[in-house]
A = this chain, B = another copy of it.
Amino acid sequence: MIGPGSVVGFVGTGVMGAAMAGHLLDAGYSLRVHNRTASKAAGLVERGAVWCPSPGAAAMGADVVITIVGYPADVEDVYLSPCGIIESCSPGTILIDMTTSTPSLAMRIAREALEHDVVALDAPVSGGDVGAINAKLTIMVGGEREAFDAVEPLLRVLGPNVVFQGAPGAGQHTKMANQIAIANNIVGVCEALVYAESAGLDPRLMLLSICAGSAGSWQLTNYAPRMLEGDFAPGFYVKHFIKDMRIAKAEAELRHTILPGLDLALEMFEELSRRGGDDRGIHALYLLYKARSVPAYYIGADDDEA
């Protein structure tokens, strides 16, 4: 039985991971933590987590291993490299990758895990840093149903909306659908604002009219005010969103599925990245619309033109 008292190896204690690991500590789980930058795990170690020098070390003796790292290459590294998680964990361990990564890698890890008598789930999240901090994440899970059932109570510590989506990779595919919806929607939020401003409206009054109706969305309610305030702090990094959109585009192309809205959004975010926007939040797309009418407009986070 997995529950309070169980040992959880936790790899990746960035902004989101640290908050999530903290909730597990609060709920009574015993944590073994590793992070590439050790200082980011210090707060958890002070609260009783055991520091481990590698992902494999964090997995040793754990009942469950959770990873939330940066890119698919990082996921591959922590799970599949020699002395990585799969080689280090005990038979029967349940591995949960919560990174947004590729469905094909999730399937590969699930296969390799089975060969070592462990089960791997892909369980990416949405809700961002705020969702992680407030334990309000949405968690979309692919893998074996039995393993999902075993860890569902643990996952519910991190957020109320935990849904089993199907076979290995299904969690990642669900996250891709989520990102595709966001990609198109953030374009719409920018364009509604830019239009309103160019037409001479007070954009805040405009938002009062449109947020509550059929144009309403989480993005509009949460990001449009920040765009208007010039607050482009992440939140959700442009560079990570580009990674996600590239995965979604590649997966769609594999299936000959044409998604012109996603393609357009990705092109715009890639231009935003080329202009220095990688470390902004995704709502900095608004600056690209501004930049297009201002030559040599720099979008990077170091200046404060916003």
* A contact residues vs B (CB 8 Å cutoff): 103, 126-128, 131, 138, 140, 161, 163-166, 170, 173-174, 176-185, 187-196, 198-202, 205-206, 208-210, 212-220, 222, 236, 248, 251-252, 255-262, 264-265, 268, 289, 292-293
Contacts and interface: CB of A to CB of B under 8 A. Distances in A.
A194 to B, nearest CB: 6
Given A173-B201, A196-B173, A201-B177, A213 B126 contact: yes
Contacts of A174: 196, 201, 205-206, 209-210
Contacts of A252: 195, 198
Contacts of A183: 188
Contact of A181 (B163, B166, B220): B220
A145 to B, nearest CB: 13
A163 B215 contact: no
A215 B257 CA distance: 20
User: Is chain A's interface secondary structure helix, strand, loop, or mixed overall?
Assistant: helix
Given A191-B261, A199-B251, A208 B128 contact: no
Given A181-B189, A214-B182, A292 B258 contact: yes
A179 B199 CA distance: 14
Nearest to A190: B261
Given A185-B217, A188-B261, A198-B257, 16 more contacts: A138-B210, A140-B206, A163-B208, A174-B196, A180-B192, A181-B210, A184-B187, A184-B261, A185-B188, A187-B260, A191-B259, A198-B255, A199-B251, A215-B218, A217-B217, A256-B293
Contacts of A199: 103, 170, 173, 176-177, 251, 255
Contacts of A176: 195, 199
Closest 7 CB pairs of A and B: A184-B188, A217-B217, A181-B215, A187-B261, A173-B199, A181-B192, A140-B209
A166 B198 contact: no
B201 A165 contact: yes
Contacts of A264: 260-261, 264
30 contacts: A126-B209, A126-B213, A126-B215, A128-B214, A131-B214, A138-B209, A138-B212, A161-B208, A161-B213, A163-B205, A163-B208, A173-B200, A177-B196, A177-B199, A177-B206, A178-B192, A178-B209, A178-B213, A180-B188, A181-B189, A181-B191, A182-B215, A195-B252, A195-B257, A195-B259, A199-B251, A217-B220, A260-B264, A260-B268, A261-B261
A184 B185 contact: yes
Contacts of A128: 214
Contacts of A178: 192, 209-210, 213-215
Contact of A161 (B182, B202, B209): B209
